[in-house]
Amino acid sequence: MKKKAVDDVLGGEKAWDNVDRTDAQCPNDSCNNQRAYFFQLQIRSADEPSSTFYKCTECAHQWREN
């Protein structure tokens, strides 16, 4: 059986192009940076809040908050 190709719903490598920055502390223990790129995406049903995705401007660590 062949595996079906799956699209990256979060945008892949280009997801972080042209996103805004905000004040957010990086959760990476070795990084004390206070700035991160972010974007919001509705990944659940319409009655649920959007998820916010962050990427540290220094170490490139990525995390998500509901």
Q: Active site includes 48?
A: yes
pTM value is 0.71
Q: Is 59 annotated as a binding residue?
A: yes
Q: Active site includes 47?
A: yes
Between 31 and 17, residue with greater pLDDT: 31
What pLDDT, on the 0 to 100 scale, is given for residue 26?
Answer: 95
Q: What is the pLDDT of residues 31-47, one digit of tens each?
A: 989 999 998 888 878 88
Banded pLDDT at 9 (limits 50, 70, 90): low
- Contact between residue 34 and residue 59 where contact means Cβ atoms under 8 Å apart: no
Domain ranges of the chain: 20-65
What pLDDT, on the 0 to 100 scale, is given for residue 59?
Answer: 93
- Contact between residue 52 and residue 63 where contact means Cβ atoms under 8 Å apart: no
**Residue tagged active-site, from 23, 47, 58, 65:** 47
54 Cβ contact list (under 8 Å, min separation 6): 24, 36, 37, 38, 62, 63, 64, 65
Which class in CATH covers the domain with range 20-65? mainly beta
- Mean pLDDT, rounded, for 2-6: 80
